[in-house]
Amino acid sequence: MKKTLAAALVGMFVLSACGPDEENSETSGETNVEEQEEQEKTTANENREQEQDESKNQETDDENNSESQENHNSTSDENTSEENEGAGNTEKEQQEAETEDTSSGDNEVSEEDESTNENNQEGEIAKVEVSGIVFDYIEGHEDFDAEEVKLMVEDREEEENVYHAQVFTFGPEDAERQGTQTLRWYSIDKMSGEVKNETPGMEEENEENENETSETEITVSEIASMSPEERESHHRNLAVDEEHVMDRVFDQLLLPGVHENTRSYEGRVGPEESIRFEFPNAENSADRTIAEAHVEEDGYYSMNMSQYEFSKGEEIIVRISGGYPQEQVFELPVYGEEEEKEIIRVR
């Protein structure tokens, strides 16, 4: 029993010795856990606050960037708008300037037309048409080449019904010397286009020419009334070497017949073509006299035949050039003299 009591006492002593430390240990452990949890909460709160601060800062940055971008875009739009307005104003100014120029040009043309209408009565020949009339007259009535002279047309106030044309040779443009080179003076009726030679000392010759002209009838060649197929066949028969003749030369070509008494000859080629005539030389058959006809804008040409000699049975060589690999060559046979064949026309 003593042993039992002693053991019990020992056990109580042991329990007494161990009890407070264990309680302190447990209490300390609980305290540490609470402190750790509190620290974690504090850390979490700090992290949360930091994240919120960063979020706010990001939002602030975004707002600042947005405002900056808006300001930039606004400035860019304003600049673009100003540039567009400036460009629009420039284009508008250019359009207004062009409109003013066009209007000014229209007014000038209108004033010129009104002036022309005031000067030219109905049916009256315009001044610009006189040169062609005079050159045609020269080719049919004079012994000099129309291509070797110049022409000046005058519209004198004191003579309202006629134009005056001065014909002179090529030379110095000095007015004082020009008078000494004058070949002819002509008057041209403004309504009928009749040409009269008013050169001093040539009045009698003028009367003879007028009488001759009145007795001479202009003959329109039958080639003018041929069909395109008939004309092509006619011209192919005149070709020197048909193999070298190109088809397009026949499109506008008109080569009427020539007679011994023909002194004014008209025909037609393409507007961009040129035509030369080679006349036989009576003194030396090996030599030929070459003359180039003046081709008008519509392709018609005329030749003054009176200054060349040719007889029945001879041939006049015609050479056409202009865009061809080689000249297109034809031969015009000279027919015998016939009435009303002095002036040959095709229109």
- The domains of the chain are located at 127-215, 219-345
How far is it, in rounded angstroms, from Cα 330 to Cα 347? 22
Kindly indicate the confidence band of residue 307, based on its pLDDT and cuts at 50, 70 and 90. confident
For the chain, how many residues are written?
Answer: 347
Kindly indicate the confidence band of residue 289, based on its pLDDT and cuts at 50, 70 and 90. confident
Return all residues near 260 (Cβ < 8 A) that are at least 6 apart: 310, 311, 312, 334, 335, 336, 337
pLDDT at 113: 46
Give the pLDDT confidence of 244-281 residue by residue, as tens digits.
Answer: 899 999 999 999 999 999 989 999 999 999 999 999 87
pLDDT at 175: 46
pLDDT at 224: 92
Token code pair at residue 133: 């009339």
pLDDT at 46: 66
Candidates 274, 231, 272; CA nearest to 254 is 231
Contact 276/303 with Cβ under 8 angstroms? no
pLDDT at 306: 81
Kindly indicate the confidence band of residue 294, based on its pLDDT and cuts at 50, 70 and 90. confident
pLDDT at 158: 85
How far is it, in rounded angstroms, from Cα 228 to Cα 231? 5
pLDDT at 316: 95
pLDDT at 89: 52
pLDDT at 15: 46
Residue with more model confidence, 226 or 90: 226
How far is it, in rounded angstroms, from Cα 15 to Cα 8? 10
Alpha helices in the chain (DSSP H): 2-119, 130-141, 175-178, 203-215, 228-238
Residue with more model confidence, 318 or 65: 318
> Could you identify the residue written with the tokens 């008494």?
261
Give the pLDDT confidence of 18-34 residue by residue, as tens digits.
Answer: 444 444 444 444 445 56
- Residue 96, pLDDT > 70, answer no
Predicted TM-score (pTM) above 0.75 = no
pLDDT at 262: 93
Pairing of the two strands 300-304 and 315-321: unpaired
Architecture of domain 219-345: Sandwich (2.60)
Pairing of the two strands 288-292 and 315-321: unpaired
Read off the pLDDT of each residue in 62-84 and give the average, rounded to a whole number. Answer: 51
pLDDT at 270: 94
Buried b / exposed e across 113-144, counting CB within 10 Å, b at 16+?
A: eeeeeeeeeeeebebeebeebbbbbbbbbbee
Least trusted range by pLDDT, from 88-102, 113-127, 277-291:
88-102
- Residue 10, pLDDT > 70, answer no
Residue percentage of the chain with pLDDT more than 90:
31
How far is it, in rounded angstroms, from Cα 163 to Cα 187? 6
The Cα-based distances of 26 to 22, 34, 98 in angstroms read: 6, 12, 105
Burial of 156 (0-12, 13-18, 19+ CB in 10 A): exposed
How far is it, in rounded angstroms, from Cα 98 to Cα 78? 30
Kindly indicate the confidence band of residue 70, based on its pLDDT and cuts at 50, 70 and 90. low
How far is it, in rounded angstroms, from Cα 331 to Cα 334? 9
Give the pLDDT confidence of 308-317 residue by residue, as tens digits.
Answer: 889 999 999 9
- Residue 139, pLDDT > 90, answer no
Contact 345/221 with Cβ under 8 angstroms? yes
